[in-house]
Structure 1
């Protein structure tokens, strides 16, 4: 109670019970619960989506350093979290949230429209994702530097190296490889750019066709016909050590890889014209996807790091993929792409996150635990895509790939 008394003189006489009570009442405090309530950084009477946004803003006061970065950088995790923040802002009109989003673009786009820490020649699909922030801000600000930066990212898509059948390499340093991750990194941006900024109708149609083609190729090369699940990567050259020498696919079904792909499907459908010939194919892919995903959903509502091997030693129920599946299924059902019967799976997924992987600090800050920090294929040191590799990568709390998806899932389910 002493902490509630601001005056030193009052503190001195606070040993007197009556005096203490009078002071407490005068200041509006009558019990310890009210004291804790007054100290909340994140109020607990808000929706989970806003609570997580405010928690992220508390953890990372500078949006340029989301993902535990020591220096500002242009990266895909910023785009995911800030895109989710934008949806929260549109519902709450909390100016601090908008300012947080704007501060990222303001810091990373210079006066001439160049993107700091970005190099087009890297042809890295991960770098496209934060373009979503620019697509959101430009109509509000009309700042030409944001428009120029968007066009730069679109130019990367125009020149991105491709496999022989037209699939985007994930990065120039990963030749002949398509990863599930890449569909989410690039295709929602590309489709939205075509819809909102490509004035040449023929060019816009070409972009839409190309976007759909990326999903066609993933279905062709990465989908396992037996389970309906999708392998994390596909190497056309079949030269990578992680690649099956007959099919070119990696060995396992990684939770977050599948999560990226599902989110890509439901978000691209927001921008693909209703009369586009590929739209029904994408909806078919989404239905196949959801059918496969719910079959490997754990009784807790969560999903395993290696999706189809829940009983295998070392595997664990992982937060980022679980949040992504929850969001994808919920949005797919609400949009009418999949049956409403799957909403029970989405709600079960969200409850699983809250009951098992979410913790709330005394100050109200929300944490998402058991997040796989990172996973990839190849590179140096070499990532072989084995079961041991996926379960052995670092596990941490509040990975933005999870918190961003959690915000989106919370919004979609109105939790």
Structure 2
């Protein structure tokens, strides 16, 4: 949960070559801009948040530049992170060259103001020894204020940092998307990054972005204009709890309470005969429990209990729901079927068991993320803790059994990796690796037995993300939103790049496994 600055900006998705990735580790060197060679510019200190003794303010003309002398111990791929501030409303384009050869033209998108700092990242190849890295103005508007250049070997990129900077360059809080669980999942991932940052300005900027998104939906009285008739619509309530934790403002508490009260027995949200929340209050969701729903409502209630109040009742509801869902959906192999229809009337439901036919990967991942988070939230002596631990233990056993040994990832239809057309999917692979890692760290499963699953999962997940010469990250092979279906339906779902299901899942994974 960390990073360095805020970018609130425009969307641009360009393509070019990408650098190879591998396990993250610390191997970076920072160079202050005020100590570099400056052509037509000044060293200033009239804004806050810079490192060192100041920052470089280049002249507003074409051709002014800042040149860094970079020493590389060995030749090879590296990532340049240029820390900058751009308090204008538009991007300030520049050109980056290494040893005289142009390698990138980053946009240097707007930040919130001149006191907010962001990082523009460029993949390069350095020679052993001395390298000259020059950042040149290409327009009469000049460069943004440059604070520093951090040079990292290609394997030490902080991918949470890079992904957040890229996403905030592509979208403003008003253009990133509406009240939906995929966008809220991303916001909660960004919130985790903010929680672990050590840079106060960066932390404030990350929170400000999430808060600006949340403020689109809650009025000053704490009301959200939503009927909350689906579990999916309730998941963004986690963002309201997060913003209440950060600001203490009553409107966020009241917004969360609106969702909380809908899930109380008095709130009237429909349930199966044994008390499980329907996935949605509509004709095509009647009496149905979807594995997805375990994440959409249960962690919210547990967070509400932990951070707002009503702890006894809310913890009871959250844990009861997870146990009910698992009682119907979790199978002897440890995995969960995508859905269960208590009425047996859905077209996909087995007439005898009411179960959906397949194990869809992301549906299972939602349960893993929900269960491990809830074990962190509920009291140590909670009466259902042992049941939640058992659910996680069985789930980890199943996940490990079906991991693809060649890629380290998991298949869209989990148990049919050898079947025609099946493919390894990015968001669930992040969730599964996270779940196994959290189970090891929580002491629920043996490190000796399952650490290889985590190590292979890390490798597989990082092979799906790359940094392009436009300075932005690209996360590939993400299944778009998916209903309940048969094998052909799942494997033919579109595979998207930078879909928010994947971005959010990746942030959860990276913060759990690497931080």
What CA distance in whole angstroms lies between the structure 2 residues aligned with 1:397 and 1:111? 36
Q: Which of 381, 402, 405 is residue 502 of structure 2 equivalent to?
A: 402
Gaps spanning 5+ residues in structure 2: where? 1-37, 41-61, 70-95, 107-118, 124-151
1:176–1:236 contact (8 Å) kept in structure 2: yes
Q: Which of 319, 329, 341 is residue 212 of structure 1 equivalent to?
A: 319
Check 1:141–1:272 CA distance in 2 against 1; reply closer, same or farther (3 A cut).
same
TM-score (norm 1): 0.84
1:47–1:414 contact (8 Å) kept in structure 2: no
Q: How many residues align?
A: 374
Question: Which residue of structure 1 lines up, in the alignment, with residue 67 of structure 2?
Answer: 28
Q: Say which SS state the counterpart of residue 444 (structure 2) adopts.
A: coil
* Corresponding position: 1:373 with 2:480: yes
Q: Which of 41, 52, 67 is residue 120 of structure 2 equivalent to?
A: 41
Question: Which residue of structure 2 lines up, in the alignment, with residue 150 of structure 1?
Answer: 256
TM-score (norm 2): 0.69
Q: Say which SS state the counterpart of residue 234 (structure 1) adopts.
A: strand
* Corresponding position: 1:189 with 2:300: yes
Residue 145 (structure 1) shift? 1.5
What CA distance in whole angstroms lies between the structure 2 residues aligned with 1:324 and 1:361? 25
* Corresponding position: 1:360 with 2:360: no
Check 1:272–1:6 CA distance in 2 against 1; reply closer, same or farther (3 A cut).
same
1:327–1:405 contact (8 Å) kept in structure 2: no
Residue 394 (structure 1) shift? 1.7
Q: Say which SS state the counterpart of residue 367 (structure 1) adopts.
A: strand
Question: Which residue of structure 1 lines up, in the alignment, with residue 193 of structure 2?
Answer: 88
Residue 308 (structure 1) shift? 0.7
What CA distance in whole angstroms lies between the structure 1 residues aligned with 2:386 and 2:380? 9
**Residues 242-294 of structure 1: CA deviation (Å, up to 9, x unaligned):** 00000000000000000011001011112111111100110111011000111
1:176–1:235 contact (8 Å) kept in structure 2: yes
Check 1:85–1:65 CA distance in 2 against 1; reply closer, same or farther (3 A cut).
same
Question: Which residue of structure 2 lines up, in the alignment, with residue 10 of structure 1?
Answer: none
2:241–2:256 contact (8 Å) kept in structure 1: yes
Instruction: Output aligned runs, 1:10-159, within 5 Å.
Output: 27-28=66-67, 32-33=97-98, 36=103, 39=106, 41-42=120-121, 45=152, 46-62=157-173, 64-66=174-176, 69=177, 73-92=178-197, 93=199, 94=202, 95-116=204-225, 118-120=226-228, 123-158=229-264, 159=267
> Which is richer in strand?
2
Question: Which residue of structure 1 lines up, in the alignment, with residue 359 of structure 2?
Answer: 253
Q: Say which SS state the counterpart of residue 112 (structure 1) adopts.
A: coil
What CA distance in whole angstroms lies between the structure 2 residues aligned with 1:186 and 1:344? 31
Residue 29 (structure 1) shift? 5.7
What CA distance in whole angstroms lies between the structure 2 residues aligned with 1:134 and 1:105? 7
Q: Which of 393, 413, 420 is residue 306 of structure 1 equivalent to?
A: 413
